[in-house]
Amino acid sequence: MALWKISAKGNWNWGTNKNLVKGMFIEMSTSSTTPPLNQTKYYEDIAQAFNTKYSTKFDKSKMSGSYLVCEKIG
């Protein structure tokens, strides 16, 4: 198991309830030590975690290293 902090690199706006603000972050665990931003199978989970925490409406298409940074915290 690995624990990850995934945070916004900068400010992005893709429409109503789709604002990503620098400093927004989520924490998630994975069974792999490979960062989840390098694995598309986790993109939906990452989007859902941001949506739950911040009441946003992201879909998995924006959950990538282009907009987010991932660091291992545990």
Give the pLDDT confidence of 39-67 residue by residue, as tens digits: 999 999 999 999 999 999 999 998 989 99
Q: Is the pTM of this model over 0.85?
A: yes
8's torsion region: left (phi>0), alpha (psi -120 to 50) or beta? beta
What residues pair up with 66 in beta bridges, in sequence order? Answer: none
Residues 8, 25 contacting (CB under 8 angstroms): yes
Q: What is the predicted pLDDT for the residue at 50?
A: 97
| Phi/psi at 37 (5° precision) | -70, -10
How far, CA to CA in Å, does 73 sit from each of 1, 2, 30?
11, 8, 12
